[in-house]
Structure 1
């Protein structure tokens, strides 16, 4: 049974362990360990979840099974896992709350546990579970926190000044220009290869190049890339001391290896202090800024959904609330009748 679990992440240098290898770290009975291996393999190979998602789900299941081990007083097996009642699941959720974990974190963890149980039932490993009747914790509704257009432009232009090596400064400018100009996630930007960058003569009819992006769930989308973004990338490549083939990573670290996203996040953190930007000024905020500024400029909501790679229009609709909230803030600050 465990032999059917395939590698979670094929063909990357920073690959996760296979389903069997990852499941080996669980201190549970052998039949449950085999079920975990099948689930981890399914997440990566069939559901095509991103590496970070697979790893987060694995940690969530490990947290749950660690609690259940103490709760039952022994390493659980499949039969015991199947026999858990709603009170057992609620006890686990209460333990997370007592540890100070946020409701959003527990909601994600619960989603991971439900995913494991659903697959176990589908594969005939267990018959049923009372988990399906358990409600997800109510989460506070949060809106995206974009930067203003001047803040976004200032961040993009100023980030290069923080680096001693000019080519690294050009690299960071290219990355932020790409995030703000194309609405990419940082993981999507760092997964690009040199061959993904449009050639100078490979322009679309409207003067824009096209960029093929592999997003969440490994869903592919095509986004236009502005000439200013292409220019920033090519400026970086011209200065980069490391060469490469079309299949090599576009953005590299100081030693020529795969660039760690934490370095860009840290650079933005330093930039916040230098420019007096809000705490919400992160690389991901530039993606929010891309969507919000497009919408404010009259962009079509469906088109923005496609550009961002959202599976559901309701996710994109959050940006309409951001735009309305900004309009009300301007109104309340400036209109002479606002305070009457």
Structure 2
């Protein structure tokens, strides 16, 4: 077995990496190997040449590829295959993680008003769409988590669903009253099948179809479709909760983030609200007001 295959096997066995994650690592490692030769025996000079090979790529792509290689060489050192780690020669592009796109509170209201108006027809497609967006915005589910929910993940009369997230890790996600109401309506009229949102052939609704449904609803609600996606609704869930005073650690749990650093992207909340919070809650600020 090659060193790359052994590394991928370790990711799958020890870290529970998903198939898509393993495929991405494989592409990056095999691409680097095609450019400079055997990775297991490559030295710093060889890795330095990747900067030229990757010159036309976006900084984020370069950072991702370099990260895969650094982890690969760390694995080789840990396994005793190499006594040195040449990954310090890899390019380190300066990247700034972009802030997530979110919808304003008024846009969310317009979006849901349209979905609710359409669902009054009680047509299955309209009720399904309302349920989908209630779970995206009301519970912060990822698109893949949502469409692949089995019916058994929704306990009877319980205010939560059991979600299998990245790496096969399960978490319990609370479901608000609005989403519960939509879920009850949908379960009463949904077609038979083991998935909550079944499709033909015993499969479930696809991510692509979910994206189409959400963007089409945005158009009907008078919102530019490029502003809306399932992930944007998840971002709005997180940001609006944080604005309402939610704790960052709680938000991390709700979103299923393995690392709190991923959740911290949502701290781009209104600076005026943060100043007001300090003035209102800080002990010295309260003492000054009493004086």
Q: TM-score, normalised by structure 2?
A: 0.80
The 5 A counterparts of 1:10-25 are none
Q: Kindly provide the CA deviation profile for residues 261-297 of structure 1, in whole angstroms up to 9, marking residues without a partner as x.
A: 1111223333444423362421111111111111222
Range that drifts further, 149-158 or 232-241: 149-158
The 5 A counterparts of 1:1-340 are 2=1, 34-68=2-36, 76=37, 80-98=38-56, 101-134=57-90, 136-156=92-112, 158=114, 166-200=123-157, 202=158, 209-241=159-191, 243-244=192-193, 248-274=194-220, 275-277=222-224, 279-324=226-271
Stretches of structure 1 that go unaligned for 5 or more consecutive residues are 3-33, 69-75, 203-208, 329-340
Say which SS state the counterpart of residue 67 (structure 2) adopts: helix
Q: Per-residue deviation at 1:229?
A: 1.2
CA contact (8 A) 2:143 2:207 kept: yes
Query: Could you say which structure has the greater relative contact order, defined with CA pairs below 8 angstroms and 6 or more residues apart?
Result: 2
CA contact (8 A) 2:3 2:40 kept: no
Q: Taking structure 1 as reference, are residues 95 and 222 closer, same or farther at Cα in structure 2, changes over 3 Å only?
A: same
Q: Kindly provide the CA deviation profile for residues 286-312 of structure 1, in whole angstroms up to 9, marking residues without a partner as x.
A: 111111111222222332222222333
Q: Per-residue deviation at 1:157?
A: 5.0
Q: Kindly provide the CA deviation profile for residues 34-90 of structure 1, in whole angstroms up to 9, marking residues without a partner as x.
A: 32222222222221112221222122222222222xxxxxxx4xxx42342334323
CA contact (8 A) 2:127 2:186 kept: yes
Q: Per-residue deviation at 1:254?
A: 4.6
Structure with the larger helix share: 2
Show the counterpart of 1:13: none
CA contact (8 A) 1:143 1:322 kept: no
CA contact (8 A) 2:243 2:269 kept: no
Instruction: Report the Cα distance in structure 1 between the residues aligned to 2:195 and 2:77, rounded to whole angstroms.
Output: 40
Instruction: Report the Cα distance in structure 2 between the residues aligned to 1:96 and 1:319, rounded to whole angstroms.
Output: 30
Instruction: Report the Cα distance in structure 2 between the residues aligned to 1:108 and 1:269, rounded to whole angstroms.
Output: 29
Q: Taking structure 1 as reference, are residues 290 and 128 closer, same or farther at Cα in structure 2, changes over 3 Å only?
A: same
Say which SS state the counterpart of residue 269 (structure 2) adopts: helix
CA RMSD in angstroms, aligned pairs only: 2.9
Instruction: Report the Cα distance in structure 1 between the residues aligned to 2:244 and 2:21, rounded to whole angstroms.
Output: 34
CA contact (8 A) 1:82 1:127 kept: no
Q: Per-residue deviation at 1:327?
A: 9.2
Stretches of structure 2 that go unaligned for 5 or more consecutive residues are 276-291
CA contact (8 A) 1:197 1:230 kept: no
Q: Per-residue deviation at 1:199?
A: 0.6
CA contact (8 A) 1:213 1:221 kept: yes
Report how many aligned residue pairs link the two structures.
Answer: 271
Q: Per-residue deviation at 1:135?
A: 5.1
